[in-house]
Amino acid sequence: MPDQTRPPGQRVTIYDVALEADVSPSTVSRAFSRPSRVNSETAERIRQVAGRLGYRTNPLARALTTSRTQMIALVIADITNPVYAEIVRGAQEVAADGEYTTVLIDAQESDRLERAAVERTMSTVDGIVLASSRMSDSAIRMVAKQRPVVVLNRALADVPCVVTDDPRGVRRAAEHLGELGHDHITYVAGPQASWPNGVRWRSLLEAGMELEIKVRQIGPFSPTMAGGERAAQELCARPATAVLAFNDQMAIGIIRGLSRMGVNVPGDVSVVGFDNILAADIVTPRLTTVAAPLYAEGSAATRHLLTMIEGAPGHTGRPMVLPVRLVVRDSTAARNPSPGRARPSWVRQRPVPGPAAHLP
């Protein structure tokens, strides 16, 4: 009969079980470690007694001696951004399979907050997945010196990395736009602290060279819908017929902002996003975007982290790269035949943004 008088919660210890099962405490301990190094017969008895007494091994105490907590930290840049949901799922899946608990940390797009949170959590976890970290390279290396770390969406020497094949994705997007007759692509930049942001821009630069498409960049803007709407305004000042946005949220914001100003997407401007979030499929027009294998990113990174925690050396050669694909939907279309003028026709119609009435 379980001891009811005690303040509940972790009062039953290994000693209680040992006493009751008539073995030494260490035997109980062994019975609860895997592989159970105990005579299967006594092990059974111990388990039985433990069950009856309501014994639960105390992970904290265990951690104190083993220095393994069976917890990993997953740091994401912004929990508000739906891309991370799938990444988290992938990571949790793998972690749970390996009997690890995942501590999710939301950095809120802030270098400072991220560092503080990592600092606080570091000593409590067995390893860390840094998804889209906003920290500096050196800060990351510092962390990686203390704990196994896998970096997601960022390449970094000496630290295991998992990235997506963004250059290929950008290239595909540029080709697609080129085929539609666009000879000029504007990149709408996201956070400067975002590593993929740089990669995407440079990839576009390169693709532009090869495909003979002119490219330019505006921004940076916040990687949110609001950021996209702001970008739309700037887009009006320096018009474009084809836009590649840092991510889907911005792309959606751009479409909204443009529409509000009477600019038609994809009629006047084609817009391509990045990530293929769920919302990309529900906006009007449905968003053409570069899809990343979100779930696989999370699971791959975590899988690698777990092997490192188990003692594997950590593959720091070159980053593991995951494939992407271009999902063509309705936000891109053949370039509006503008008869021999440099600027698209819509510019003069509404040179300055303002709350336009809904078009019929």
Partner DNA sequence: GTGAAAGCGCTAACAT
Partner DNA sequence: ATGTTAGCGCTTTCAC
Annotate each residue in 1-20 with x if it binds a second copy (CB under 8 A) or - if it does not, as one string. Answer: xxxx--xxxx----------
The binder of 3, among DNA, a second copy, none, by C-beta within 5 to 8 A per type, is a second copy
* Residue 112 touching a second copy (CB under 8 A): no
CA distance 252 to 280: 7
Query: Of the candidates 33, 101, 316, 349, which one interacts with a second copy according to CB under 8 A?
Result: 101
Shortest Å distance, C-beta 183 to a second copy: 29
With the C-alpha atoms ordered 3, 8, 9, 11, is the resulting torsion angle positive or negative? negative
Helix, strand, coil distribution of the chain in percent, nearest 5: 45, 15, 40
Nearer to DNA, 10 or 264 (CB): 10
- The identity of residue 265, as a single letter, is V
CA distance 15 to 49: 12
Q: Which of residues 62-81 bind a second copy (CB under 8 A)?
A: 63-64, 67, 69, 71, 79-80
Could you tell me if 322 and 162 are in contact, meaning their C-beta atoms sit under 8 angstroms apart? yes
With the C-alpha atoms ordered 142, 147, 150, 151, is the resulting torsion angle positive or negative? negative
* Residue 315 touching a second copy (CB under 8 A): no
Binding residues with a second copy: total (CB under 8 A): 53
The binder of 30, among DNA, a second copy, none, by C-beta within 5 to 8 A per type, is DNA
Which residues bind to DNA, rule: CB under 7 A? 10-11, 13-15, 22-27, 29-30, 32-33, 37-39, 41-43, 55-58, 61-62, 64-66
Write out the two tokens for 32: 């609860």
| DSSP β-bridge partners for residue 242 | 270
CA 136 to chain CA centroid, Å, is 17
Which region, judged by CB under 8 A, interacts with a second copy, from 15-23, 31-39, 87-95, 202-210? Answer: 87-95
